[in-house]
Copies of this chain bind each other. A is one copy, B any other.
Amino acid sequence: MGTGRLEAFSDGVIAIIITIMVLEMKVPHGDRLNDLLPVLPVFLTYVLSFVYVGIYWNNHHHMLHATRTVTAAVLWANLHLLFWLSLFPFATGWMGENHFSALPTALYGTVLLMAAIAYYLLQQAIIRSQGPDSILRKAVGRDWKGKLSPLLYIAAIAATLFSPWISEGIFVATALIWLIPDQRIEKVLPRSDV
């Protein structure tokens, strides 16, 4: 079993997740600026989550590019990642509607943390399936971003005890770290028009 249908299914799920998040921005009933303003925090969390899901899609894409065959372990590790990504709209909506208060922010951080762990497990499952000469292991290298992110999310969850705004700052900073695109895999792999 190759990666074609796994990619297509993951793309479908991620495309839907990224789009239904916007449904949490409820259309206000009035038509004045004061009616629109309460939507602003929901909009800001939407931007943040859109960037995170975009990062996941981007990295997922690169990772599967370095994958040839899909074992049962890889398939379920991929569904496990999609599961945590599918909780983004809920966590985003709760944090946005409550204007970044402590518990919703902590839950948001928890979903980010679980998604990061799920991504790491998927990466390990692919590396194991590729044996000792794994091209993905070589491409990933020391993976400092993948190892740093969960620690940052844990710090952000803990920071909600003091001020959720510190947590938001960590979320934004972590997204910026990832926005520098993951060109490691592109370096190892030869160019191709997949």
The interface of chain A, by Cβ under 8 A from chain B, is 1-5, 7-9, 11-20, 22-25, 27-33, 36, 47, 50, 54, 57-58, 61-62, 65, 68-69, 72, 75-76, 79, 82-83, 86-87, 89-90, 93-94, 97-98, 101-104, 107, 179, 181, 183, 186, 191-194
In the complex with contacts A76-B181, A103-B33, A20-B18 CB distance below 8 A: no
B residues in contact with A30, CB < 8 Å = 98
Out of B61, B65, B69, name the residue touching A193 (CB < 8 Å).
B69
Is the CB–CB distance between B5 and A103 below 8 Å? no
25 CB < 8 A contacts A-B: A1-B62, A2-B192, A2-B193, A4-B193, A4-B194, A5-B7, A5-B11, A9-B14, A9-B15, A11-B12, A13-B15, A15-B16, A18-B82, A20-B20, A23-B89, A27-B97, A28-B94, A31-B98, A33-B103, A36-B107, A50-B83, A54-B79, A57-B79, A72-B183, A76-B179
Is the CB–CB distance between A193 and B68 below 8 Å? yes
Out of B5, B76, B90, B181, name the residue touching A25 (CB < 8 Å).
B90
Out of B22, B61, B181, name the residue touching A87 (CB < 8 Å).
B22
In the complex with contacts A107-B36, A193-B68, A58-B29 CB distance below 8 A: no
Is the CB–CB distance between B103 and A194 below 8 Å? no
Q: Which residue of B lies closest to A28 (CB)?
A: B94
A96 vs chain B, min Cβ distance (A): 9
B residues in contact with A2, CB < 8 Å = 192-194
B residues in contact with A72, CB < 8 Å = 181, 183
Q: Which residue of B lies closest to A27 (CB)?
A: B93
When A and B form their complex, which 7 residue pairs have the shortest distance between CB atoms, in order from nearest? Answer: A12-B15, A2-B193, A72-B181, A31-B98, A27-B93, A16-B19, A31-B101
Q: Which residue of B lies closest to A25 (CB)?
A: B90
Is the CB–CB distance between A75 and B181 below 8 Å? yes
